[in-house]
Structure 1
C-alpha cells in the first residue's frame, strides 16, 4: 500500500506501508488529516482517531529515519526524520521512500495522508 503525505495539497513525502495488522488498521483510517508535532528532535507525532491493532507485532522497534510507526502506549502515529532508540511498544507501519527531509521543518505541520 503506497501512501503520500501532502501539505496544502502539495505532496512532500511518499512511502510504502508494511503488510501487518497495524498497518492495515492504519490504512483503514485513510485519508487522514493530522497536525504533526515535533518530538525529541527525531520524529513528528500526532494522535490517531482510534487505537490500532498490535496483533502479531514485535514488542519493540528501533526506528530509522523514514520509518512510519505507531506508538501503542500513547496511541499515536510517529514519522521519524532521524534515527531513534529502541522503544517498547513501537510498531513499524511502513517506510517513506521520498520526503523524510521535508519533515525536519521546525514546528507543527498540518498534513493529509492518503493512498497513492
Structure 2
C-alpha cells in the first residue's frame, strides 16, 4: 500500500507492507503527527491509538528508511539509521528512496519534525476525488 510522508518542504513516497499492523495504521489515515528525534536514530510520534500486532514477529531489526511501530510504547517510528533487533518492534513498511543519504547524514531534513499522512488514494478508499493527494500539509498519507 502506497503512502506519502509530507513535511513542510518535502514529500516522501513510502510503501506499507500487508501486515495487520500496517493495515491498522492505513485505516487511521490521514494523520498529522508531531515528530521528535529519538537517540539520533529515528523520528517518533505518538499514535492516537494502539495498532494490532496480531501475526507479527515478537522482535525486529530496523534499517534506515523503515517505517515501524514500537508496540510497548504505541508509537510510530521512521528510522534514518539502522537499529538493532528490538522486542516489540514491528516493521510496517519502507520509505521508497535512496537510503544511502539517511545512513551518511547525522539527521533527516531539518523540517522533519512534523508530518502528516493524508488519507488513502481513491482506488483504496472507494473512489474519492484526489483531495488527499492535493493536501500538502505535513503528515502521512496514501
SS in 2 for 1:98: coil
Alignment correspondent of 1:111: 115
CA contact (8 A) 1:61 1:89 kept: yes
Residues 1-116 of structure 1 correspond to what in structure 2 (within 5 A)? Answer: 1-8=1-8, 10-98=9-97, 101=102, 104-105=108-109, 109-114=113-118, 115-116=141-142
Kindly tell me the number of residue pairs found equivalent between the two proteins.
115
Aligned mates of 2:67, 2:35 — CA distance in 1:
12
> Per the alignment, do residues 59 and 66 of structure 1 end up closer, same or farther by CA in structure 2, a change over 3 Å counting?
same
Structure 2 unaligned spans of 5+? 119-140
1:14-69 Cα shifts (integer Å, max 9, x gaps) = 11000010000000111100011000111000000000000000000000000000
Structure with the largest fraction of strand: 1
Say what the alpha-carbon RMSD is for the aligned residues. 2.0
Q: TM-score, normalised by structure 1?
A: 0.90
CA contact (8 A) 2:7 2:111 kept: no
Structure showing greater Rg: 2
Runs of 4+ residues deviating >3 angstroms? 99-103, 105-108
- The alpha-carbon deviation at position 83 of structure 1 amounts to 0.1
Alignment correspondent of 2:122: none
> Per the alignment, do residues 99 and 76 of structure 1 end up closer, same or farther by CA in structure 2, a change over 3 Å counting?
farther
